[in-house]
Structure formats: C-alpha cells, structure tokens
C-alpha cells in the first residue's frame, strides 16, 4: 500500500457569482509569482451545476465511458491488465481523464501496486491544492509551498492529464453560465411580480373598519398583488408589456445555451431540434471530430504514461496497447456473420473472437478450430458407415467449425 498525498480539504464555496469574481479568479490563477487556482476551481464547482453544461459535457463524457476498452499484446493474454479493466478501475480512470475538458490540467493518484492482491484505486487530487506551474501539491489550498509530486516515490503513483497551462473549457463558458443564471433569476422575479392576477376591492368612503376588513381579507388570501380603494374613485391599471419581456428573456437564455454548446461540442444543432436535417448532419460531423480527438488523447495517455505506471508495478504490459473496441449497432448474430465473412478474406486471430463474444479461453490457450470440408463426402454403406459414426450416431469431425458453432449459439 502506497503512502498517499495528504491534504486538508474544505467544502467548496457556494455563493452568488458575477463576472467580477470570474475575472478576479483568472488573475489569481495567472499570477506569475504566486499562482493560485483555488478561487477558479471554487467558481467551477458552482458553474458545473448548470443544466446546459451538464447536458453538453455528458455527450463527451459518455462518448468515452460507453466505449469498450481492450488491451492486446501480440495475441497474448495479459490476465493482470484484463482484470484491471474488468475491476471498474479503468471506468473511473477514463471518467477522471475526460474531466480535463471542463476543468483543465488534472493530477490523478493511481495506486495499482500489488497487482492481483490489492484492489486498485484511482483518485482525483483536489485541483484547488495543485499548482501546475510548480508541479506541487499544497497541504492547504492557500499555502505557498507544497510537495513536489514529480519526485520518487510519489511519481510512481501520479498520472498527469493535460498540460499545466490548461484551465479548462469552463473558463470560456463561465460568462455565459453567469449571464444565463442571472437572467433566469430576473425572469423568476418578473413572473412573481407581474405573472399573478391583480385583485381589486372597494369599500364605502369614510368607513375605516370596512377598509381594514378588506385589507385583512386580501392579506390572508392567496398570494398576488391587490388594490384597495374607496367607492367612487377611479383606478387605472396600465399594461406592463410582460409578454415582450418574457420573449426577450427567453431569447437571451437560448443564445447563452447555444454558446455553451458551441464551446463543448463545436455546434448547437446536435442539442436542438431546429435547423433541418442537413444542417444537423453537418454539425454532427463536427461533433464526431471532437469525439475522435478525445479518443486519441485518452489512448495516447493510456499507452504512454499509464503504461509506464503498469510496468513499474509489475503488470508487464510489454509491447501491448490499449484500444477501444469498435462498437456498432449490429446484433451479436449479425456481427458474427460479418466477422466470419471477413475471416474468409483475411485471417483473424482467435483471441478476437474470444474477447468479442466473451468466450472462456481454453487452458491450452486460444486456438482456431479447423474448417469443415466444403465438398460433400460420399455416402458409406454397411460397416464403413458405422465406422464413420461416433457414439452419438453423427459423423465424427474433431475439427468442427468454431465459427459455425458460434452462429448456432446466436441464432
């Protein structure tokens, strides 16, 4: 068991935010002498509650988490790494890796020591305590000095994601989320004041008791604005054009949500039902390019620094590599038919079939079954026919077609 980095964390600040706090947080983070990102990440914790941000970032997160991660090493099984993948460790690892997109430079603590004996763990080192420019972790978030996590033995457990100068996409999205939140608050106030019915009551002039009773009645009744005036007087109720105000507020909110979608997905039409099918298809291609870039970045990290950690802790990755198995919408039967046709054109390693269709590997190792004879065999008679049969009465064929057997299973 490794000695973890110990820090003293406190709850993130939940307070009203405006653009001035955003600019102040950026200035503190960009300070040359004493850079401090704790204010910025406290701000991010608040901004991350926005529903549009959650919706659009989930697309990028799910693109990674819904892929099937595999490790292949020249056709050889690596039970330790395979167990690591199935343990749930890599699922959390991928989730923390992709969090670099909104939050920027990220430091992970990966305890994969004692392979096969100890449950592997991966944790996020609180970004408020990390000073990327100095590669240190501070005990308290506002400290000046800290521990250098690039030195031994800490560097045997630390995985850096992204570049130190990266501050995350929430940096650009912050003004739009702040404007949207404040606009929604104003909208709610507008509805509260002007969106409820106006109640009007009259009382006999000079009857003070009647006036007080009428006021008490309105005060104790349902909420809403009320007017009380003596009989014989006129009260003009002027229009406040609330309909126009609601329309402009809705338009402003839509513009801010579109801006947030562009920042994280490069488009708006994959999150909206407007624009037509052609435009939606074009924007989806842009989104897919972003997804592919996320895939490449994650795989580069897994096959780079993370493989070094695996080597340090005895997983023996060798020349093997991580990759995402191609997922498609084919049924298991359709996929198998496609794979067997490809196998007739190019030879596919048997490990692919064991992994893809989750078939236990024989103790003797993965093997490819022999092919059935394509030409029909002559019909035998008498004793010769009996010799060609096994105990079950069927012709013996020790090299029964592996792929035809699988087809029958999925039929």
The pLDDT tens digits of the residues spanning 281-300 come to: 666 888 889 999 999 999 99
Range with lowest mean pLDDT among 64-73, 105-114, 198-207, 226-235: 226-235
Per the model's pLDDT, the better-predicted residue between 84 and 361 turns out to be 84
SS3 content of the chain, % helix, strand, coil (to 5): 50, 10, 40
Structure tokens at 242: 């609330």
Structure tokens at 403: 């792929």
C-alpha 382: how far from chain center: 68
CB 3 within 8 A of CB 111: no
Structure tokens at 112: 């994969």
Q: How confident is the model at residue 247 (pLDDT cuts 50, 70, 90)?
A: confident
Dihedral pair phi/psi, residue 68, rounded to 5°: -95, 115
**Predicted TM-score of the model (pTM):** 0.70
Structure tokens at 364: 């003797």
Q: Rounded mean pLDDT of the chain?
A: 82
Structure tokens at 100: 């670099």
Dihedral pair phi/psi, residue 73, rounded to 5°: -135, 80
How far, in Å, CA of 22 to CA of 181, rounded? 14
CB 311 within 8 A of CB 110: no
- Give the closest residue to 8 by CA, choosing from 124, 164, 143, 152: 143
Looking at residue 171, what is its pLDDT?
97
How far, in Å, CA of 156 to CA of 148, rounded? 13
How far, in Å, CA of 177 to CA of 292, rounded? 27
Residues contacting 225, CB < 8 A, separation 6+: 193, 196, 198, 199
C-alpha 5: how far from chain center: 26
CA angle 154, 159, 164 (to 5 degrees): 105
Residue with tokens 């008679």: 381
Looking at residue 263, what is its pLDDT?
95
Q: Does the pLDDT of residue 58 top 50, yes or no?
A: yes
Looking at residue 337, what is its pLDDT?
84
Count of C-beta atoms within a 10 Å radius of residue 373: 10
Calculate mean pLDDT across residues 132-147. 95
């Amino acid at each position: 068991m490794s000695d973890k980095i110990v820090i003293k964390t406190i709850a993130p600040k939940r307070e009203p935010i405006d653009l001035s706090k955003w600019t102040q947080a950026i200035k503190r983070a960009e300070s040359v002498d004493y850079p401090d990102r704790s204010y910025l990440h406290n701000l991010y914790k608040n901004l991350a509650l926005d529903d549009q941000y959650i919706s659009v970032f989930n697309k990028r997160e799910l693109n990674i988490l819904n892929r099937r991660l595999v490790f292949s090493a020249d056709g050889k099984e690596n039970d330790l790494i395979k167990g690591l993948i199935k343990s749930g460790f890599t699922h959390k690892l991928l989730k923390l890796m992709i969090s670099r997109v909104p939050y920027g430079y990220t430091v992970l603590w990966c305890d994969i020591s004692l392979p096969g004996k100890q449950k592997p763990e991966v944790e996020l080192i609180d970004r408020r305590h990390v000073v990327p420019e100095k590669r240190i972790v501070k005990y308290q978030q506002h400290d000046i000095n800290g521990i250098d996590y690039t030195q031994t033995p800490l560097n045997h457990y630390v995985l850096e994601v992204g570049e130190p100068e990266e501050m995350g996409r929430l940096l650009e999205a912050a003004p739009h989320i702040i404007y949207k939140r404040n606009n929604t608050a104003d909208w709610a106030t507008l509805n509260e004041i002007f969106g409820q019915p106006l109640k009007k009551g009259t009382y006999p002039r000079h009857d003070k008791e009647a006036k007080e009773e009428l006021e008490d009645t309105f005060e104790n009744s349902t909420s809403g604005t009320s007017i009380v005036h003596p009989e014989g007087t006129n009260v003009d109720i002027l229009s406040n054009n609330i309909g126009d105000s609601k329309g402009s507020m809705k338009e402003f909110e839509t513009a801010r949500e579109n801006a947030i979608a562009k920042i994280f997905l490069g488009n708006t039409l994959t999150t909206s039902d407007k624009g037509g099918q052609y435009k939606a298809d074009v924007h989806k291609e842009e989104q897919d390019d972003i997804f592919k870039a996320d895939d490449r970045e994650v795989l580069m990290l897994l096959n780079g620094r993370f493989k070094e950690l695996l080597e340090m802790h005895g997983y023996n990755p060798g020349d093997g590599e991580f990759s995402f198995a191609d997922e498609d919408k084919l049924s298991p039967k359709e996929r198998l038919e496609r794979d067997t046709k490809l196998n007739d054109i190019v030879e596919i390693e048997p490990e692919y079939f064991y992994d893809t269709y989750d078939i236990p590997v024989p103790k003797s190792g993965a093997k490819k079954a022999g092919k059935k004879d394509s030409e029909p065999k002559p019909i035998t008679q008498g004793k010769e026919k009996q010799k060609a049969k096994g105990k079950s009465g069927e012709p013996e064929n020790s090299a029964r077609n592996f792929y035809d057997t699988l087809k029958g299973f999925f039929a």
